[in-house]
Amino acid sequence: MKFNGSDQYVATDDLMLAVNAAARLQRPLLVKGEPGTGKTMLAEEVARALGLPLLQWHIKSTTKAQQGLYEYDAVSRLRDSQLADPDSAARVRDIRNYIVQGVLWQAFTAEQPVALLIDEIDKADIEFPNDLLRELDRMEFHVYETRELVRARHRPLVFITSNNEKELPDAFLRRCFFHYIQFPDAATMQAIVGVHFPNLKKELLSAALKRFYDIRNLPGLKKKPSTSELLDWLKLLVAEDIPLEVLQSKDDKVSVPPLVGALLKNEQDVSLFEKLVFMQRQGR
């Protein structure tokens, strides 16, 4: 099993190396990086390229580790116990009928090896990663209600993404292989855009990329636009048929880019731009 990128996903050499290293070590690959740099899509594409089914677990602030293992549906059991028919009575007697399998259980007991994505682990509370240490390490857990041990038939290829909203505990980090997706350089970005817009005119692309990186390099920006914002912006530029001249700034003057709402997502950043344009005019 070796990942070499895919026709829809541009993977740099170090990213491919990281995926293959995690697979070899049979440890989860912890992927960090700015929002929109392809962390979630990586798991989808690796699974597709290696022909593995992908199980996804999207973490929210309320998600508990136990939900990934199993949940005991006490409410249904109580309801069934109040029904008079013999079928319900028989069902109630066996607690296994009320154990609902979580994503990890499904991944562990799947017939064939699978990929498992634990997306945005930093959204959950601090106990969440700690509660999964044994499961991710030994790939097994106990079901206390039935005294059953669920053990992975095949170790799943695990991807864990984080946006760095919270620090992860050391004991958790020790069990992972880590990779930080660097923001793509111009050449990589060109390749990424090529995947999404194969017929984009060269001049438009290079003018747009220049504007994009100029914006990203602007000091004081609160939220730098990322890959997915660039792709949205390009889509709009093409759809609205924005002429090339509008994108190319004359003698390197700052100007607010067309359809700026695709790139800048808060008012401070837009007003920073407007201030720069204003100062430039004053300086003339």
Ligand X SMILES: Nc1ncnc2c1ncn2[C@@H]1O[C@H](COP(=O)(O)OP(=O)(O)OP(=O)(O)O)[C@@H](O)[C@H]1O
Segment near Mg ion (CB under 5 A); pick from 35-43, 136-144, 187-195, 233-241: 35-43
Of the residues 6, 40, 56, 97, which one makes contact with Mg ion according to CB under 5 A: 40
Residues that bind ligand X (CB under 6 A): 9-10, 33, 35-41, 161, 163, 192, 195, 227-228, 231
We find the least distance from the C-beta atom of residue 17 to Mg ion, in angstroms, to be: 21
Where on the phi/psi map is residue 252: left (φ > 0), alpha (ψ -120 to 50), or beta? left
Cβ distance to Mg ion smaller for residue 152 or 160: 160
Question: What is d(CA 80, CA 97) in angstroms, rounded to the nearest whole number?
Answer: 11
3-state secondary structure 170-193: HHHHHCCEEEEECCCCHHHHHHHH
**Number of residue whose CB is nearest ligand X:** 38
Choose from Mg ion, ligand X, none: what does 249 bind? Cβ within 5-8 Å by kind: none
Choose from Mg ion, ligand X, none: what does 63 bind? Cβ within 5-8 Å by kind: none
We find the least distance from the C-beta atom of residue 251 to Mg ion, in angstroms, to be: 39
Question: What is d(CA 282, CA 284) in angstroms, rounded to the nearest whole number?
Answer: 5
We find the least distance from the C-beta atom of residue 38 to Mg ion, in angstroms, to be: 8
The tally of CA atoms less than 13 A away on the side-chain side of residue 232 is: 13
Which token pair is 270? 């837009």
Cβ distance to Mg ion smaller for residue 40 or 106: 40
We find the least distance from the C-beta atom of residue 96 to Mg ion, in angstroms, to be: 35
Q: What mask of x and - would describe binding to Mg ion in positions 117 to 146, judged by CB under 5 A?
A: ------------------------------
We find the least distance from the C-beta atom of residue 10 to Mg ion, in angstroms, to be: 16
Choose from ligand X, Mg ion, none: what does 27 bind? Cβ within 5-8 Å by kind: none
Cβ distance to ligand X smaller for residue 155 or 179: 179
**Number of residue whose CB is nearest Mg ion:** 40
DSSP category for residue 14: H
Contact 114, 55 (CB under 8 A): yes
Most distant CA atoms of the chain, gap in Å: 89
The number of beta carbons lying within 10 Å of the beta carbon of residue 192 is 18
Choose from Mg ion, ligand X, none: what does 9 bind? Cβ within 5-8 Å by kind: ligand X
Cβ distance to ligand X smaller for residue 43 or 92: 43
CA distances from 119 to 27, 34, 41, 185 (A): 16, 14, 10, 25
Expressed in percent and rounded to 5, the helix, strand and coil fractions of the chain are: 50, 15, 35
Where on the phi/psi map is residue 58: left (φ > 0), alpha (ψ -120 to 50), or beta? beta
Choose from Mg ion, ligand X, none: what does 10 bind? Cβ within 5-8 Å by kind: ligand X
We find the least distance from the C-beta atom of residue 265 to ligand X, in angstroms, to be: 12
Cβ distance to Mg ion smaller for residue 52 or 161: 161
> In the chain, count of helices (H) and strands (E)?
14, 9
The number of beta carbons lying within 10 Å of the beta carbon of residue 216 is 15
Size of the residue set binding Mg ion (CB under 5 A): 1
Footprint on this chain of Mg ion (rule: CB under 5 A): 40
